[in-house]
């Protein structure tokens, strides 16, 4: 599968606001969207979104859960929920011209947000508690750098 086949994007809240970027090229030029990008060869998708968020915004984030997956015939894009760790959001002045922190409802209602990002934020608002969480399990003969599992929450009996 070629480089263009796997992309990632991530939703991250900082002080109850959603981190968004204003894109500088392609069909999303001058529109705002959730950060994301391509998965590099031999890179896990959750690592790719952490890298992309940092490269695009200067924010260190950690993936916590898998919210949804977008499928096209030529591309798959997992959408992660990420936790803010550190960093002051700032534009990379290359892929994006601006970094914004917006209330989720404000972001959804903006005319300059991409349709896909609007839909992802609606899914996040309604379902963030039901996303597939990152598990501690590592498959036998694998390492943390080569394996990750996201799954439902464990049932609490009683």
Average pLDDT over every residue of 86-105: 97
Per-residue pLDDT of 114-123, as tens digits, reads 999 999 999 9
Q: 3 falls in which pLDDT band (50, 70, 90)?
A: low
Distance between CA atoms of 63 and 22, rounded to whole angstroms? 22
Reply yes or no on whether the pLDDT at 1 is more than 50.
no
Distance between CA atoms of 130 and 15, rounded to whole angstroms? 21
Q: What are phi and psi of 92, to 5 degrees?
A: -85, -10
Given the DSSP bridges, would you call strands 7-14 and 75-86 parallel, antiparallel or unpaired? parallel
Reply yes or no on whether the pLDDT at 110 is more than 80.
yes
- Is the pTM above the cut of 0.85? yes
Reply yes or no on whether the pLDDT at 137 is more than 80.
yes
Kindly state the percentage of the chain with pLDDT values over 70: 95
Under a CB-based contact definition with an 8 Å cutoff, are residues 79 and 66 in contact?
Answer: yes
Under a CB-based contact definition with an 8 Å cutoff, are residues 8 and 45 in contact?
Answer: yes
Per-residue pLDDT of 148-157, as tens digits, reads 999 987 767 6
Specify the pLDDT at position 87: 98
Distance between CA atoms of 74 and 68, rounded to whole angstroms? 17
> Residue for token digits 């990379």?
92
SS3 73: coil
Question: Over the chain, what is the mean pLDDT?
Answer: 93
Reply yes or no on whether the pLDDT at 158 is more than 60.
no
The mean-pLDDT minimum among 58-62, 95-99, 101-105, 130-134 falls in 130-134
Q: Which two tokens stand for residue 157?
A: 């009996």
Average pLDDT over every residue of 87-98: 97
> Residue for token digits 């200067």?
58
> Residue for token digits 């993936």?
63
Q: How many CA atoms lie within 13 A of 39 on its CB side?
A: 20
38 contacts: CB under 8 Å, gap ≥ 6 = 3, 4, 6, 7, 8, 48
Per-residue pLDDT of 29-54, as tens digits, reads 999 999 999 999 999 999 999 999 99
């Amino acid at each position: 599968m070629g480089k263009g086949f796997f992309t990632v994007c991530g939703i991250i809240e900082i002080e109850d606001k959603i981190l968004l970027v204003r894109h500088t090229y392609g069909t999303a030029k001058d529109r705002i969207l959730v950060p994301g990008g391509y998965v590099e060869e031999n890179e896990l998708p959750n690592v790719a979104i952490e890298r992309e968020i940092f490269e695009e915004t200067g924010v260190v984030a950690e993936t916590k859960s898998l919210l949804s997956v977008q499928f096209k015939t030529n591309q798959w894009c997992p959408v992660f929920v990420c936790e803010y760790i550190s960093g002051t959001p700032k534009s990379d002045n290359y892929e994006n011209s601006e970094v914004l922190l917006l209330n989720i409802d404000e972001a959804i209602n903006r005319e300059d947000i991409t349709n896909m990002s609007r839909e992802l934020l609606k899914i996040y608002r309604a379902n963030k508690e039901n996303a597939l969480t990152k598990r501690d399990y590592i498959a036998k003969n694998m390492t943390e750098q080569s394996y990750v599992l996201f799954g439902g929450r464990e049932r609490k009996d009683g």
